[in-house]
Amino acid sequence: MHTGHVATASSRFSAWSNSLLVDHAVFRVLWDNWAEVIPSKLYRSNHPTPGRLKAAARRYGLKTLINLRGHRECGSDALSRAAAARLGLTHIDMAFESRGAPHRDRILRFADIYAGLETPALMHCKSGADRAGLAAGLAILFEGGTAAQALAQLSWRFGHFSRSRTGILDAFFLHYAAVAEGRVPFVVWVETEYDEADLRRRFVASGISSFVVDRVLRRE
């Protein structure tokens, strides 16, 4: 675990060591899992290294960085927070889960954040596969898109496994499409009808896929 401070040379070395070796950023140095979600407004990626964040901020004119992991005492968190501050980006913690039914209160908080978001913005989780896919899908629905368009943000292209426990995120969008799309606006449905416990009861994951995601890839 890293304390979250990078004010000294030794703390920066510790943060980089923790990020690369413990938080698996060694794989993200060459792979950013980058995609545009809403043209010229919202982007998604895995947890950016400081260099990648700087390059993206310059290329896309980023104003905001949304951390879908929430605040964590790890090197990756400390480094990206410090980089965001140097670049003048607004840093927002908006934690989501990847293996549980999306929480109503978190979806509604994200809707409020999105309504007042200074854009262009970049969202990231650890690998850019599951929580980034959920948040990207939510943003599409906030913008008036369809559940099918939202569901497309959860795909193999981003490293998402729909048959593992992370497939409950797919089930969430499919559930909205089945019971409310075209009848109730998405945010209204979340506020008044969405039942997290019922979605959890209905969802069954594949044991093999869950093993790959949880034990082999070590996703959060």
Phi, psi of 63 (to 5 degrees): -115, -25
Q: Domains in the chain and their CATH numbers? A: 9-216 (3.90.190.10)
Nearest by Cα to 203 from 211, 195, 191: 195
Query: 37-40 contacts: CB < 8 A, separation 24 or more?
Result: 37/123, 37/136, 37/139, 37/140, 37/153, 38/139, 38/140, 38/143, 40/119, 40/120
Q: What is the band of 9 on the pLDDT scale with cuts at 50, 70, 90?
A: confident
Handedness of CA 76, 82, 86, 90 (dihedral sign): positive
Q: What is the band of 212 on the pLDDT scale with cuts at 50, 70, 90?
A: very low
76-97 mean pLDDT:
96
Q: Which two tokens mark 29?
A: 């140095």
- Per the CB < 8 A criterion, the answer to whether 118 and 63 are in contact is yes
Q: What is the band of 205 on the pLDDT scale with cuts at 50, 70, 90?
A: low
How many residues does the structure list for the chain? 220
114-119 mean pLDDT:
98
What gap in Å lies between CA 191 and CA 174, rounded to an integer?
17
Portion of the chain with pLDDT greater than 90, in percent = 71
**E strands of 46-188, at which residues?**
64-67, 90-93, 121-124
Report the pLDDT value the prediction gives residue 1, as an integer from 0 to 100: 53
Report the pLDDT value the prediction gives residue 15, as an integer from 0 to 100: 86
What gap in Å lies between CA 74 and CA 15, rounded to an integer?
7
**What's the predicted TM-score (pTM) here?**
0.89
Report the pLDDT value the prediction gives residue 34, as an integer from 0 to 100: 97
Q: What is the band of 37 on the pLDDT scale with cuts at 50, 70, 90?
A: very high
Report the pLDDT value the prediction gives residue 196, as an integer from 0 to 100: 94
What gap in Å lies between CA 106 and CA 95, rounded to an integer?
8
37 three-state secondary structure: strand
pLDDT tens digit sequence for 145-203: 999 999 999 999 999 988 888 999 999 999 999 999 999 999 999 999 999 999 998 88
pLDDT tens digit sequence for 11-32: 888 888 888 788 788 888 888 9
pLDDT tens digit sequence for 42-74: 999 999 999 999 999 999 999 999 999 999 889
Q: Which two tokens mark 144?
A: 């008036």
Chain centre distance of CA 27: 17
- Per the CB < 8 A criterion, the answer to whether 32 and 14 are in contact is no
What gap in Å lies between CA 19 and CA 5, rounded to an integer?
13
